[in-house]
Structure 1
Amino acid sequence: MSVLRFTGANSRDAMRQVRAALGEDALILANRRTEAGVEVLAMAEPSVTQAPMPAAPGAGQDEAFQAMSARLLQEMQEMRSLLAAQRPETAADTPRQRLSGWLAESGFSRPVADEVLAGLPESLADGDEESWLVSRLAGRLPVQEDELALLDRGGILALVGPTGVGKTTTAAKLAARFVMRHGPDQVALVSTDGFRIGAHEQLRIYAELLGIPMHGLDLDEPLEALLPALADRRFVIIDTVGMSQRDQRVIDQVARLQGGAAVRPVLLLNAASQPEALEEVITNYRKAARAAGLALDDCVISKQDEAGSLGPLLDALMRHGLRLLFVAHGQRVPEDLAVVEAETLARQALAVRRAAGRQALPAAGVTTLLGQGRRLAVLLAALRDRIPGFRDLEAAWALAGVPPSLQAMRLDALLARAEPPRGSRVWMPRARVRGEEWSQPDLCLDPAGQWSALPRPQHLVPAGERERLAEAEAAGPLGAHLLAGLPGEAARGWLAERRRDWVAQVRGSLRVEAGGERHSLAYLEAAMTPRQPRGVRWRGREAELRLAACPVTLGSEPAPLRAWRGELVDLDSGRSLKRCYWLAPEALRGRAVPLLLAQLAADALPALTRRANRRLAEVDPAMAPALRLTLAAGLAAVAVQLEASGEAWAISLRAELLGLLGGRRRGNAETLLEALLHLGLAREALRELGSVGLEGLH
């Protein structure tokens, strides 16, 4: 049989055409990406029992042979051209390997490179590789984006770090910035450097130029002794004594900062240092800070103008989760100190490439833990940024650390003060979930249709329909109510009086009036007008929702309604997956479609909530049932939303979450739920260790 060419919008579409034309046993000879999508060459599997075709006698046999030879020659030439076109994308030069090599040559370690490339899209144009890589690196580099916020907040900043890193000059620059904004009456400088000859004098000169006081601490004198003299100062900058990261006195020196006042230590890092030295500085100074009861989570980069490459330094900041406040790039006070965007630093780091990049980190058991913690922090930050209510869900999970007898009470207090998004409410069935002792919590949507991660447990809402609707709108009107069944006449009247949008999922056996006759909704399907199909993801499958609608009324009620029928069809097999019916006010018309899609997706929540609830019960049997159900329902909502969304941020988050589980996993809601459970449990484990101060995990 001849080789056939199939072209589809994507690989799934092309393979669907192959199966339809050649069957499940088709042989795939080659494939490549084209401007039109994906092109596949395939032929049917030859059968050993297939009878030979009868040969035509005489000239007719010669002509057939020549035609077949010409066709085979043409197909061989096409295959050769196809393979030649694919050769630049061999395993030795895939986008992943190109970008991995770029990161290595720029000074980034293998763990960071693997983490950054975990979410690499399947298709990425050559011209987009740099911008994608910059975005991924920048997302893993926490920076202080607003200098004025730091200066306005004030407080006591203690600059710590090795000798010669630039602490004194940086202290003067920060003081000058504060004086320029707030004047000299609210800032003071403190020096604890009694080792270097003239150290106090150097800082005193800067203080006199700025017109601010400067205080010196003796070697054995604690900071607490100076607090009365600093009481009227809004911003205090401490220039500490420089010590090698290997000096055992580092712990004692940092401990002098503790007691009597809240001190924020800031680590100075020399951009020109060797990677091994940076690793030692960060690890040992953070250990010293923890021993003194302080959290060392902020840093300043000094001497950027002397650095040959920024890659190793940024790599260390990402792995340890240090937040970058400022970058110093010269000796001028206060000019050579700036807040730099993460994207700018990432581009500068990638601009310097060396033939031999770093292949491994210094051997240290803490490195793997810190690297994993940073990956979790990046994921959590993305979920907080994209999923409404995720911060509240994290706060609920943190209640697992309090005694079980207090968990339910504190959860109720958290739910009472957490403000749900003022979008729509998905009212789940009031009945208990099959085989369980609980009912599925309700779901909130923001005005853009995003699901909130914090559900609304049913035991906190009134029992009556009208009372529930009124309680939900106590703080202001909602966009729509998505009901699990047809509301009663009184509730429908309440909604009509307030002109609220609503949709109700109903049975096909429900009888309504249409055209003066009374029929079931299922009977009316033939009279419904088809609407534009919608592509959806349904339980890990690509599906199509085929909608149809027609106007109806309910018995004696004159209010016009619109009946909807939706059928989910699997795009691969063409098999019908689910059929649903809804009623909605006629005035809603096409605006009802997004609400129907949201309610359809919510059908998966009870099963997923049951799975998460049982998993949490295995991990923490003592957890209060109300808290466990809230966490389970919230994680289920996040998993369903991530599965259903086709937006770029959701696709990226799906890849990141699946990467936590290792191996190749399907991006369905069940697998995403497992990844979210893993994320939450790993976060709590790292917090309990108390040995990592990672931004985003506290």
Structure 2
Amino acid sequence: MGVMRFTGANSRDAMRQVREVLGDDALILANRPTDDGVEILAMADDAVGNLTSSPAPSSRVASSRSATAESGNETARTEPHSPAAPEANEESADLRSMSARLLSEMQDMRALLAREQSRRHPETDCAGRLRRILREAGFSHDFAQELVTGLPRELDKTAPDDERPLAWLQRQLASQLSVGTDEDAFFQAPGITALVGPTGVGKTTTTAKLAARYVERHGADRVALVTTDSFRIGAHEQLRIYAELLGIRMVALDPDQPVDSLATRLMGRRWVIIDTVGMSQRDQRIVEQIAQLQGGRVKVHMVLLLNAASQPETLNEVVQRYRAAATSANSRLDRCLVSKQDEACRLAPVLETIIRHNLTLSFVSHGQRVPEDLSLPDAASLAARALATRSPLTENAESAPARSPIAGRQLLGQGRRIALSLTRLRARVPGFNTLERAWDLSATSTVEQQDNLPSLLEPSSHTTPATGLLWAPRRAASRSDWRLPDLCVDAEGLPRLPVRLQHRQPAGDLERLKAALAHQANESSPFQLFPTLPGSTIRDELDGSSIQWLARAQPATRVIHQGESRSVSRLASLFDGCGHLDTRLRGKAVKASLAKLRVSLPPSKRDSAEACQYAHLWQATLYDEESGRQLGKRYWLSPSEETHSARPLLQAVLNSEGLEQLTREAMSTLTAWLPAGTRAELLLALAAGIAAVTLHLEHAGDEDAMDLRAELLELLGTRRRRRDTALLQALLQLFATREAIRHIQSSGDAQ
């Protein structure tokens, strides 16, 4: 099969013809625009082999002339300037030129074919697949790009059939959606609620649904309906029928009447709902309507109705115009209600509008039944339904270039993510609000810091007891003049707040231990973690209280094994393997291979030689999970011989290894950022507390921690650093941004 010509209305149509006739491996020789559309010259891939195996016509001519020259070589030698030689050279040059041009066009068209095929097939990387899912669900390109930017590193290289990325995407979408969660709180608060929105969104039916809920809770004699719709024929009658069915009073409010005029007509009605006249979002009378609602002494709570079946451009314009009208009336419009969910083919446009404009979704209406078809929104269900309703992208949608985000929208999204991250940190890390208060305290005078710092640093009756306590070394940190605080840990071995500054603890180790045990009195399995082997007095106290403990041992630490005193490093060949732990060290995933050996502790000077205490020596050999390279060994001593009992203690000490380095880095940054008058102990408490939160997020393995890590690293704007130090810098940036926002708010309030 030779070269074939294909003509189509556009390049896509012509390429479709090429694939139907010659297959996906066809070679494109040339393409050009014509009056009828696009013309493509192509040939089958197997035809190329035939061309290369058998000489082309031009080649045969050249060969024939070459043979003639050989047969008449005598003539060629005697007549070097015969006219045949220049002609052959010219034809050879033309052939080379044509071959080069043909090869260039073939390469260009191969690239065109590759691009065409890439548009027909889903993107292969995880972020690309998720963006495509969002686009197919109806979300805009900019929104999809923004949402997927925070994809956790753990999901970067997942297979296409892995369900975790889609689950993450649903959680991300749900977390961006602010929804009302307390129906009782909405209906219990007395006052006036006005439903506003364009024509045809279902305000009257929704008004009846809300009124029915009010009647169920408070009785018909305390609820009233108000209509301002004097334009639509029958509008009064429709609402009046609902009022009669519910047994409640209905009154009309003329456009020139203020809301305050209702006071004398609705005596004793503490729950009032206003059904406003529907207006196009482009109608200038919207400003007058909102001004009427907000012009009196009585506060009117407005709820904007959004039609789930509307186009995204329409929804965006509705929110902008109605919010602008509310602002001009010195009011706010922050709550919305989605109507006609049952009529919408897809939920993506309305959800994106709510998220983009930072609205709170109070209710969702999904039918005509009163009052049944009105429910509280469930963010997870809405996100799942939005992503489940997808359709293939059109050619225009696939090839449309991404628009640069508007600066204001970008800033709004950043502010929303910061607020969300702070909310999630407060919910996840008990005592995180203590860090926030400590940061705020740094801006006050030295006297105020001295007066208020103890209440922030000392555990109180309101503080959740820590399962474990990691004792810091009783010396200054390396290259520093401060001592690392003691660190609280939870039952899973994760660091938590508050940190305990050493100089604020009771004097003497025994007194400090008793204070710690008193705070852990209600814990079922408390434990103590020591940087070195504690003295016999401490060990006796712990054994008498049935408290688990673990102490760090150095390779040179001496123990007794089979009656002989030996250093722990000399006993490596005698350990018995007992499983492994997963942890992270210096920002990398690490596997710790565990082993144990029964030994005796050397007697103290006050004890007799027969008073040796049995213990177990634990060894962890650390391996880089990616390369398998050994990173070192760790040793500990503990009275426990059960692996399941020692596992959380071993996990806790491994998880906390980076505390000193992270605290030092945080101290350096905070010293430069915070006011010069910040007390040293406040600075240390902040630095160690932020370092503890960093380690908590670094080592937590649940989905919530994964999502929170991704959010924080997205705020930082880079993934090139070690994850632990990147998380620390992200938390520091979060605190600094929070302070900047508070300053902006206070400046606005002052004006």
For 2:544, which of 476, 480, 497 is the aligned residue?
497
State the Cα distance separating 1:539 from its structure 2 match.
Answer: 0.7
For 2:587, which of 521, 540, 545 is the aligned residue?
540
State the Cα distance separating 1:405 from its structure 2 match.
Answer: 5.4
Take 2:252 and 2:468, find their aligned partners in 1: how far apart are those partners? 60
How many residue pairs are counted as aligned between the two chains? 607
State the Cα distance separating 1:406 from its structure 2 match.
Answer: 3.7
Does the 8 Å contact 1:243/1:250 carry over to 2? no
Does the 8 Å contact 1:538/1:644 carry over to 2? no
AA at the equivalent of 2:482:
W
Larger displacement relative to structure 2 (227-236 or 110-119): 227-236
Residue 553 of structure 1 is matched in structure 2 by 601
State the Cα distance separating 1:176 from its structure 2 match.
Answer: 0.9
Residue 309 of structure 1 is matched in structure 2 by 346
Does the 8 Å contact 1:428/1:484 carry over to 2? yes
Take 1:348 and 1:305, find their aligned partners in 2: how far apart are those partners? 12
AA at the equivalent of 2:147:
V
For 1:102, which of 133, 140, 148 is the aligned residue?
133
Name the SS of the counterpart of 2:143 in structure 1.
helix
Take 2:711 and 2:564, find their aligned partners in 1: how far apart are those partners? 55
State the Cα distance separating 1:440 from its structure 2 match.
Answer: 2.5
Take 1:435 and 1:288, find their aligned partners in 2: how far apart are those partners? 60
Name the SS of the counterpart of 1:173 in structure 2.
helix
Residue 357 of structure 2 is matched in structure 1 by 320
Structure 2 CA distance for partners of 1:567 and 1:233, relative to 1, 3 Å? farther
Q: Are 2:684 and 1:629 equivalent residues in the alignment?
A: yes
Structure 2 CA distance for partners of 1:172 and 1:455, relative to 1, 3 Å? farther
AA at the equivalent of 2:378:
E
Q: Are 2:519 and 1:474 equivalent residues in the alignment?
A: yes
Does the 8 Å contact 1:613/1:629 carry over to 2? yes
AA at the equivalent of 1:328:
S
For residues 222-371 of structure 1, the aligned pairs below 5 Å read 235-239=271-275, 247=284, 250=287, 253=290, 257=294, 265-286=302-323, 296-350=333-387, 351-353=389-391, 355=394, 356-357=396-397, 364-371=406-413
Unaligned runs of 5+ in 1: 1-86, 694-698
Q: Are 2:216 and 1:180 equivalent residues in the alignment?
A: yes
For residues 76-115 of structure 1, the aligned pairs below 5 Å read 93-115=124-146
Structure 2 CA distance for partners of 1:127 and 1:534, relative to 1, 3 Å? closer
1:9-57: CA deviation from partner (whole Å, max 9, x where unpaired): xxxxxxxxxxxxxxxxxxxxxxxxxxxxxxxxxxxxxxxxxxxxxxxxx
Take 2:511 and 2:268, find their aligned partners in 1: how far apart are those partners? 54
Q: Are 2:483 and 1:439 equivalent residues in the alignment?
A: yes
Take 1:292 and 1:432, find their aligned partners in 2: how far apart are those partners? 61
State the Cα distance separating 1:421 from its structure 2 match.
Answer: 4.5
Structure 2 CA distance for partners of 1:168 and 1:501, relative to 1, 3 Å? same
State the Cα distance separating 1:481 from its structure 2 match.
Answer: 1.6
Take 1:264 and 1:410, find their aligned partners in 2: how far apart are those partners? 39
Greater relative CO, 1 or 2 (CA 8 Å, sep 6+): 1
Take 1:159 and 1:562, find their aligned partners in 2: how far apart are those partners? 70
Structure 2 CA distance for partners of 1:670 and 1:178, relative to 1, 3 Å? same
Does the 8 Å contact 1:568/1:578 carry over to 2? yes
1:491-524: CA deviation from partner (whole Å, max 9, x where unpaired): 3333222211111224444444443344444444
For residues 191-230 of structure 1, the aligned pairs below 5 Å read 206-212=242-248
State the Cα distance separating 1:327 from its structure 2 match.
Answer: 1.3
Does the 8 Å contact 2:496/2:696 carry over to 1? no
Does the 8 Å contact 1:570/1:576 carry over to 2? yes
Structure 2 CA distance for partners of 1:251 and 1:335, relative to 1, 3 Å? same
State the Cα distance separating 1:669 from its structure 2 match.
Answer: 0.7
Q: Which has the larger radius of gyration?
A: 2
Structure 2 CA distance for partners of 1:339 and 1:574, relative to 1, 3 Å? closer
Does the 8 Å contact 1:507/1:581 carry over to 2? yes
For 2:177, which of 136, 141, 154 is the aligned residue?
141
CA RMSD of aligned residues (A): 4.2
Does the 8 Å contact 2:290/2:329 carry over to 1? no
State the Cα distance separating 1:307 from its structure 2 match.
Answer: 3.5
For 2:668, which of 610, 614, 618 is the aligned residue?
614
For residues 492-531 of structure 1, the aligned pairs below 5 Å read 492-531=539-578
Structure 2 CA distance for partners of 1:248 and 1:490, relative to 1, 3 Å? farther
Take 2:366 and 2:502, find their aligned partners in 1: how far apart are those partners? 58
Take 1:251 and 1:460, find their aligned partners in 2: how far apart are those partners? 63
State the Cα distance separating 1:109 from its structure 2 match.
Answer: 1.9
Q: Are 2:495 and 1:451 equivalent residues in the alignment?
A: yes
State the Cα distance separating 1:604 from its structure 2 match.
Answer: 0.9
Does the 8 Å contact 1:109/1:361 carry over to 2? no
AA at the equivalent of 1:307:
A
Name the SS of the counterpart of 1:455 in structure 2.
strand
Structure 2 CA distance for partners of 1:124 and 1:300, relative to 1, 3 Å? farther
State the Cα distance separating 1:590 from its structure 2 match.
Answer: 4.4
1:137-156: CA deviation from partner (whole Å, max 9, x where unpaired): 23332333454554456666
Q: Are 2:158 and 1:123 equivalent residues in the alignment?
A: yes
AA at the equivalent of 1:476:
A
Q: Are 2:695 and 1:640 equivalent residues in the alignment?
A: yes
For residues 578-597 of structure 1, the aligned pairs below 5 Å read 578-586=632-640, 589-597=643-651
State the Cα distance separating 1:108 from its structure 2 match.
Answer: 1.0
AA at the equivalent of 1:125:
P
AA at the equivalent of 1:143:
V
Does the 8 Å contact 2:595/2:619 carry over to 1? yes
AA at the equivalent of 1:471:
A
Structure 2 CA distance for partners of 1:201 and 1:477, relative to 1, 3 Å? same
Take 2:703 and 2:565, find their aligned partners in 1: how far apart are those partners? 47
Structure 2 CA distance for partners of 1:127 and 1:424, relative to 1, 3 Å? closer
Residue 471 of structure 2 is matched in structure 1 by 427
Structure 2 CA distance for partners of 1:93 and 1:501, relative to 1, 3 Å? closer
Name the SS of the counterpart of 2:496 in structure 1.
coil
State the Cα distance separating 1:670 from its structure 2 match.
Answer: 0.9
Take 1:185 and 1:493, find their aligned partners in 2: how far apart are those partners? 72
Structure 2 CA distance for partners of 1:615 and 1:194, relative to 1, 3 Å? farther
Residue 54 of structure 2 is matched in structure 1 by none
1:609-653: CA deviation from partner (whole Å, max 9, x where unpaired): 121222233233357344443332232223223333444444444
State the Cα distance separating 1:162 from its structure 2 match.
Answer: 4.1
State the Cα distance separating 1:300 from its structure 2 match.
Answer: 0.8
Name the SS of the counterpart of 2:408 in structure 1.
helix
Larger displacement relative to structure 2 (312-321 or 218-227): 218-227
How much identity, in percent, do the aligned residues show?
A: 45
TM-score normalised by L of structure 1: 0.73
AA at the equivalent of 1:477:
N
Structure 2 CA distance for partners of 1:391 and 1:382, relative to 1, 3 Å? same
Does the 8 Å contact 2:417/2:711 carry over to 1? no
State the Cα distance separating 1:215 from its structure 2 match.
Answer: 6.7
Q: Are 2:631 and 1:577 equivalent residues in the alignment?
A: yes
State the Cα distance separating 1:413 from its structure 2 match.
Answer: 3.6
Larger displacement relative to structure 2 (196-205 or 625-634): 196-205
Structure 2 CA distance for partners of 1:586 and 1:328, relative to 1, 3 Å? closer
Take 2:587 and 2:375, find their aligned partners in 1: how far apart are those partners? 47
Does the 8 Å contact 2:640/2:646 carry over to 1? no
Structure 2 CA distance for partners of 1:385 and 1:517, relative to 1, 3 Å? same
Take 1:226 and 1:407, find their aligned partners in 2: how far apart are those partners? 52
For 1:372, which of 414, 422, 425 is the aligned residue?
414
Structure 2 CA distance for partners of 1:466 and 1:334, relative to 1, 3 Å? same
State the Cα distance separating 1:123 from its structure 2 match.
Answer: 0.9
Structure 2 CA distance for partners of 1:420 and 1:485, relative to 1, 3 Å? farther
